[in-house]
Structure 1
Amino acid sequence: MSAPSAPRDRTASPTSTTTTSTTARPAQRSWRVVDIVVAAVVAVACGVIFWAWNLAYAGIGGLFVAFPPSSGLVAGMWLFPAVLGGLLIRKPGAALFTEMVAAAVSALLGSQFGLTVLASGFVQGLGAEIILLLFLYRRFTLPVALLAGLLTGILGGINDALIFNWFPEYTFEWKLIYVAFMAVSGVIIAGLLSWLATRGLAATGALSALASRRAHQEPVV
């Protein structure tokens, strides 16, 4: 008769059953119908704001007579849909989609800039998209929003002052200053205000169907 086997240590378990994953769950990248609908609605609303701002901008030009490049400080009004769309939808392409649709709507309503707004929309949307991509569409904190606004402003300023050359009377130094002012406007209007708007909307429950529904509970940094 063989000796009885030693009692099994019930506190131990096979490695295969105790191994846990420490990798964060990847963000859901695919667009849903609700994402498309919300992005489109936001973009159209922003396009109407663009159209109204185009009219207002023509009327406030006198405010910048003393130093014309300072007009870049209010250019963030043409940048915010990119950052806002990216923060709300949180899917690849959301920033670009929102900015370009907004630009298209403003062109359809009538813009003194003509169809060039489509190219501007692409460049500006690309700025926010690049930053969100760098963070793999998984971080939407205030610094990320500010960086998105910054790059959107820089690319938008380069597009306006150097590529399309909207200001042929500016010296090269003035054009660089315009780009810097537009970058500042992008940080404040497109970055900060879009981040605050997203948190505010999330707090009301209006974003309950979106990935940004808990934005108001997320850390600032």
Structure 2
Amino acid sequence: MNHRWRTLDIVVAAVIAVAFGVIFWAWGLVWRAADPLFAFFPPSQALIYGVWLVPAVLGGLVIRKPGAALFCEALAATVSALLGSEWGGVTIAQGLIQGLGAEVAFAAFRYRSFKLPTAALAGALTGLGAALFDFFVWNTEYALWAYRIPYALFTIVSATVIAGVGGWYLTRALAGTGALDRFAAGRERRTV
């Protein structure tokens, strides 16, 4: 497998990242608006966290080259920060940590497995990165067992389902349109 990035890889990764950067910014508004829905148990709000982690998995599944997951997640976080995310520039560092999680999953399979279990693992590890970042940066003032631990677990579950499984289905849906025909993900669709 050729791990060199083509110009097309860079352009598509950037498009994924910028589109999700805008989604991230909007999702921040949804997150705040949803606060009352989770007032019964505030850590459970992390069940909707996975939306912020989709580009790491999607980028890895589409581009299938070292650095794609990291690039997509970090650039999306940067775009979100530039658009005025309430969390500011810290989201850039957060995006790097989150993208590393998915990158580790794809690297563990030497960028050769892009099946649903690999995508779910990429989502879970991206969620683990997010959970650890939040655990030590954003949630330090909260109680360990009453908030931080459940929040971390909900984040990992959300990432596994929304970013991992959802990212895999989103890749298949995009491939089904023919939009990914110049990528392995699109060529797989034609052979199945």
1:49 to 19, 23, 30: 23
Which structure's residues are more often helix, by fraction?
Answer: 2
Return the alpha-carbon distance in structure 1 between the equivalents of residues 173 and 187 of structure 2: 10
Return the alpha-carbon distance in structure 2 between the equivalents of residues 167 and 215 of structure 1: 45
Return the alpha-carbon distance in structure 1 between the equivalents of residues 86 and 104 of structure 2: 28
Matched-pair contact (CA < 8 Å) for 1:199–1:215: no
Partner of 2:157: 184
Return the alpha-carbon distance in structure 2 between the equivalents of residues 178 and 157 of structure 1: 8
1:88-127 equivalences in 2 (<5 Å): 88-127=62-101
Matched-pair contact (CA < 8 Å) for 2:13–2:59: yes
Aligned-residue offset at 1:40? 0.4
Runs of 4+ in 1 over 4 A off after TM superposition: none
Matched-pair contact (CA < 8 Å) for 1:153–1:186: yes
TM-score (norm 1): 0.83
Q: Secondary structure at the match of 1:207?
A: coil
Partner of 1:172: 144
Structure 1: which 5+ residue stretches go unaligned? Answer: 1-26
Return the alpha-carbon distance in structure 1 between the equivalents of residues 71 and 131 of structure 2: 20
TM-score (norm 2): 0.95
The one-letter code matched in structure 2 to 1:199 is R
Q: Per-residue CA shift, 1:108-133, capped at 9, x if unaligned?
A: 11111010100110010000000000
Matched-pair contact (CA < 8 Å) for 1:141–1:218: no
Q: Per-residue CA shift, 1:85-109, capped at 9, x if unaligned?
A: 0001000000000001100101111
Query: Which has the greater radius of gyration?
Result: 1
Partner of 1:200: 173
Structure 2: which 5+ residue stretches go unaligned? Answer: none
**Percent same amino acid among aligned pairs?**
51
